[in-house]
Amino acid sequence: MAEAAENLAVGPNHPLEALTADEVAEASALAKAELGERAAFCSVALVEPPKADLKSFGNGDPVPRKVRFLGYDYAGGDGGFDATVDLVSRRVEMARITHGQAPIGFADVVAAVRITKEDPAWQAAMRRRGIDDFELVQIDPWPAGGYQHPSIPPGHRAHRAISFVRETKTDNGYARPVQGLIAHVDLDAGRVAHLEDHGDVPLPPEHGRYDAASQPRLREAPKPLEITQPEGVSFTIDGNLIAWQGWQFRVTMHPINGLVLHQLRYDDGDEVRSILHRAALSDMVVPYGDTDPMHAWKHVLDAGEACIGNCANSLKLGCDCLGEIRYLDHVAVKPDGSPRLIEQAICIHEEDYGILWKHHDGHGQTTEVRRSRRLVVSSFHTVGNYEYGFYWYLYLDGRIQMEVKLTGIVGVSAVDDGTSRPEYAPLIAPNLASPIHQHLFCFRLDCEIDGETNSVYEVDTVPAPVDGDNPDGTAFRAEARLLATEHDARRQVDASRSRSWKIVNPERKNRLGVPVGYRLVPEGTPALMAAAGSQVAKRAGFAQHNLWVTPCEEDRLSAAGDHPNLGPGDGLPFWTEGNRSVDATDIVVWHTVGSTHVPRPEDWPVMPVEYCGFTLKPVGFFDRNPALDLPPADHCATTGTS
C-alpha cells in the first residue's frame, strides 16, 4: 500500500523544490518529440520563477514548473537547442543557440576519446613514442574554447584531446603525460581535424599512485574521533527547505551554478528578515600561465562549459562529512534525456567551530564562554583531474561564509632533464612539471538586505593626514565610498587598505540610525593575470575584477553568459557597458575569488585541499551581538543562567 502511494504522482509544494526524476523524464519526452534522433541532452535545470512570483506564492497555490534543457543535435551548424518545457501546460519553447554552444555533455567526451584513439596519425605518433597499448591510454578532452583550430569550421563542436599512459586500468595516468601531442577533434565531422605534435619527450619515470596499497609504508593512524549528537540534529528539512537557529533557506543544485541557496532569511525573533534572494557560483575559469603549447591555451570554464553541477559526487561513501548527516539527492540528465539520479549529492550537517565569544572578568572573577557552531551545506564535484568542494556555512552570529575546497590532481607536463622552467612550471616529481595557473570563481549574490533596495559602499582603512588633529600620525580611519554605477563598481581587492564592500539598505536603519548592512569580506586573491586582450579575458571577462555590481536581472545567472562553450565572450563586461545606476535599487553583487596556484612537490600525486572563499558579516544588521541569547553549555558560565 505504502509503495503504491509513493508511486502516485505527488506534485511539488513549492516552486523552488528540486526537480524529480519523474519530472525530468516527462519534460524530456515532451522536448524529444520536437527534436531529431541525434539530439543529445547536456544539462537540465529547474526554471526558477521570477522573484515577484516567489514572493506572492502562498501555501496551496498552483506550483509553476518549468524545466530547461540544453543540448545539441548537429542540426544546421548552430549551437544546439535551448528548450524550456512547461510541465503544467505541457508546452515546449524550442530556441536555437546562436551565440556559443550547448555545454559539453557526456556524449561529447565519449566521442572525443573514441575519435582520437581511432585516428591513424595519433596512433602513429603514439607508436613513435614507444606506446602501442592504446587500451591503457587515457584521453582527456579539453574545451577548445577561444582556440578552435582553423581546420575545424566555426559552429562545429570541438575538443583538444591530450593523452596519458597508464600501467594498469586503475593507475594514475597523470604521472605519465604524453608531452607535445594534441589532437584537435571535430565532433560534428567525427574526425581528428589536426594533430599538433611538438616532438618526443620520454615519459616520466615514477608512478603517481596515491592509494594506500601503493605507499611504501603507512603511519600509525590517529585514535578514533567520533562526532555524536545523541539527541539528533538541531536543523529541520522539509523537502529542500532548511531551518536552523533562526536561519531559513532552500537549497538546489544547478548544472552551471552548482549548489544554490534560495531565499536566505533570518528570524531574529521580531520578524523574518531577508538577506539573500539567491546565492551561488555563477561561473569559474582555470587559466593556465605556462607558455608551453600543451597549456598556454587552457582556460576551462568548469561551470559554464563543463556543467559542474552535473559533476556532483554521490557522497554515499560517507567520508566527506563527519557526524550526524542528512543528504539531498540531485537529478541530472543522461544524453538520451532520461533522468540520472545522483544519490546523496548535497550534504547538510552541523559542526562545532571552537569559540563563539568569551570573556574572563578579573574583577568579578567570572567567565562566560559560548561555543560556536555552524550549519554546513556542501557538495563535491569532480571535473576531469580536479575536485572542487563548495561549502556554505551559516553561523550563530549571523555570519555567512563560502569556502571552496580545491583538491584532486594538478595539470602536468613531461620534461627532459635540465629543461624545466620553474617560473612557469615547477618540477613536482622527477621529469614531471606542473604549470602555474589560477582558479577564479565568480559568485552571484542576489542581495536582499531587509528588502530589495540595496546599495554598495567600498570601505578602505587609510592613515589619516598628520595635522593638528593627528600630530603624531597615529590616526587612521575607515573611508566609505558609494559605488553608484556599474563602472564605479568594477573593483579589485586591496589587502593594504583592509578593503571590504558593504551592502546596505538605505531605507532601513538600525537603532543607532545607521542603514542596516552586511559586509563582504574578501580574501587577498588577485583577479585574472592574463592580459586584457587575451582569449581568456574575453571569454571569462568576469575574472578581470574581484567585484561587480549590476541591477538585478533574474535570467542572467552565469557571469560568462548562458552558452560560453566555444563562445566568443559574453557576460559581465558586456552587460555592464551601459554603466547603469546600482544605487538604492535591486542589485546583484558578483564576487570573483580564487587561488593562484604555483604547484609544489607536496601537491603531487594528489593535492592536499587548498581553500578560498569569502565571508558576509552583518554590520549594523543587528543591534548588538546576536548570539547573546545562546544559552551556555553546562559549566561554561560562572555568572548563572537566570
Contacts with Ni ion by CB under 5 A lie at 597
Residue number, 156 or 597, with CB nearest to Ni ion: 597
Residue number, 394 or 540, with CB nearest to Ni ion: 540
Catalytic residue list contains 302: yes
How far, in Å, CA of 138 to CA of 294, rounded? Answer: 16
Task: Examine residue 608 and say whether the peptide bond preceding it is cis (omega within 30 degrees of 0).
Answer: no
CA 470 from chain centre, in angstroms, equals: 46
Q: What is the largest CA-CA distance in the chain?
A: 85
**What's phi and psi for 544, nearest 5 deg?**
-75, -20
User: By Cβ distance, which residue is nearest to Ni ion?
Assistant: 597
Residue with cell 549548489: 259
Catalytic residue list contains 611: no
**Shortest distance, position 410 Cβ to Ni ion, whole Å:** 6
48's grid cell: 526558477
548, 522 contact by CB (below 8 A): no
**Shortest distance, position 600 Cβ to Ni ion, whole Å:** 11
Q: How far is CA 278 from CA 249, 444, 464, 592, in A?
A: 10, 8, 39, 16
Catalytic residue among 140, 186, 290, 302: 302
User: How crowded is residue 636: how many other Cβ atoms within 10 Å of its Cβ?
Assistant: 14
How far, in Å, CA of 617 to CA of 600, rounded? Answer: 33
How far, in Å, CA of 365 to CA of 362, rounded? Answer: 5
Residue number, 556 or 597, with CB nearest to Ni ion: 597
**Shortest distance, position 601 Cβ to Ni ion, whole Å:** 14
Residue number, 74 or 210, with CB nearest to Ni ion: 210
Residue number, 235 or 604, with CB nearest to Ni ion: 604
Q: Following DSSP, what letter does each residue of 309-342 receive, concatenated?
A: GGGBPP-TT--SS-SS-EEEEEEEE-TTS-EEEE
Residue number, 300 or 415, with CB nearest to Ni ion: 300
Kind plus residue range of the DSSP H or E element containing 5: helix 2-7
Q: At what angle do helices 120-128 and 106-118 cross, to 10 degrees?
A: 70
**Shortest distance, position 299 Cβ to Ni ion, whole Å:** 13
**Shortest distance, position 573 Cβ to Ni ion, whole Å:** 25
**Shortest distance, position 385 Cβ to Ni ion, whole Å:** 10
Q: Following DSSP, what letter does each residue of 512-526 receive, concatenated?
A: TS-EEEEEEE--S--
User: How crowded is residue 408: how many other Cβ atoms within 10 Å of its Cβ?
Assistant: 17
Catalytic center residues: 302, 386
